[in-house]
Chain A
């Protein structure tokens, strides 16, 4: 279980990205975080694993409070939080296998990782995960030879091989075409279900979020404006999150697109 208490982030420039956010994510819940650009979505998930240092507030992962940890203890806790990035953030010049195994860096020592002598159990798990996402034949390819969708799957494997309790997912589909976006979202949600993982997914595509998640959080100017099931996202709610716009098309599109794609498949 993840619990945020009065989490505040003020950047040096004076921008208040997060204003006392309170949030509880139970085990196994997949949650979408929506909101306009600059609402603090990326800052929120980066404050959880402290890629961005929160200004004040508390973050509990299980029973451990993360904001006060020393760097060594923080590294150990980061292993329990897998992260998936918008532009995949694979190390381009390393192979797919090396990228997946880099998810184990928190568990192996420097020289083992430097000499690429990972424990056989890790290698087995890497092959299992690559097989699960359908990329086992690509294991020896360099990451920059892959297409966007394939890269994101490698990114998912890298996050999962950490054996995390929580996935932090930052705009996983923003650089992908609509069909691949759905496949990636479906894969993330299926894997979360298989492994009982909680996940926080930042996403711009409201319709896509509605299709896959159990709970939606709407963020606006660093504060939670909406918290509820995807069905409760009405045009009025979207207006409070994003501002005035004709939302009927956005929401109705969900069912239309969906049936079209299902029919096509």
Chain B
């Protein structure tokens, strides 16, 4: 009870004595746990490698610079593949995510008891597995190459897009839907006039946002053999061709910066 009376005045404190004590104990335990963990980690670390790290990093830096600029002629095709994987994957994911989102949103689902849980399961299961792991699985199923990458990116993105989209659907203004229903419009007309215009900005935002993420994700898919610039990266790493690795990293950085710029522009234009 933070208010008490003393000498006819009402005193107010943020916490009662008991609460302050509890806070102190909590902080004390927190600090003790932190110190204990620090000690454990320290014992399990081979400190020689850590002290050695700056020297090794410096060594790799000298080997990697200058980047092998002429190697760029061989990177055009892989980076194009990477961008295609991201773009196609995003488009497929969006097409599949739209029905899933409508089935998952509480206000549009045909059945809260049966259909909605299935839609939510699709969202959770596709979201919970990383695209690299999807790519590994798909390479085993459909063989290595760009197509496996596209499918991996698409599957990974369905859950993300559907989740954001169904949240947007649940937040729409219901009176607009009511007004369209009151005109005698059919179910599909209510959707096209009452719901779609309201979620369109969110949809466009989600699409470019996910495309932007997918550009980054698809650069590493090649590491497991799913096509794109990651293939070149893993090949160069395997033969310790550091100047090539440096150039690949620069190209990836450039691609990501450009995609961020594009998505920012698109989002600004739509919303």
Contact = CB atoms under 8 A, between A and B. Distances in A.
Interface in B88-128: none
B39 interface: no
A51 B184 contact: no
Contact of A114 (B175, B184, B192): B192
Contacts of A155: 179
B178 A51 contact: yes
A45 to B, nearest CB: 10
Contacts of B188: 110
Interface residues of A, number: 31
B40 interface: no
A87 B179 CA distance: 11
Contact of A106 (B173, B176, B183): B183
A95 to B, nearest CB: 10
B193 A91 contact: yes
A49 B198 contact: no
Interface residues of B, number: 21
A212 B184 CA distance: 29
Given A51-B178, A85-B175, A93-B198, A102 B193 contact: yes
A151 B188 CA distance: 25
A247 B50 CA distance: 85
A105 B189 CA distance: 7
A81 B179 CA distance: 12
A110 to B, nearest CB: 5
Given A85-B175, A110-B186, A110-B188, A93 B200 contact: yes
Given A93-B197, A113-B193, A75 B180 contact: no
B236 interface: no
B230 interface: no
Contact of A81 (B175, B182, B192, B198): B182
A113 B192 contact: yes
A94 interface: yes
Interface in A86-136: 87, 89-94, 102-107, 110, 113-114
Contacts of A162: 183-184
Interface in A140-184: 155, 158, 162, 168
B84 interface: no
Nearest to B187: A71
A78 interface: yes
A105 B182 contact: no
A239 B182 CA distance: 34
Contacts of B197: 91-94
12 contacts: A51-B181, A79-B184, A91-B176, A91-B179, A91-B198, A93-B201, A102-B183, A103-B183, A105-B183, A106-B184, A110-B189, A113-B192
10 cross-chain pairs, A with B, having the tightest CB-CB distances, nearest first = A106-B184, A105-B185, A78-B184, A89-B179, A79-B184, A83-B182, A89-B175, A93-B197, A75-B184, A105-B189
Interface of A: 49, 51, 75-79, 81-83, 85, 87, 89-94, 102-107, 110, 113-114, 155, 158, 162, 168
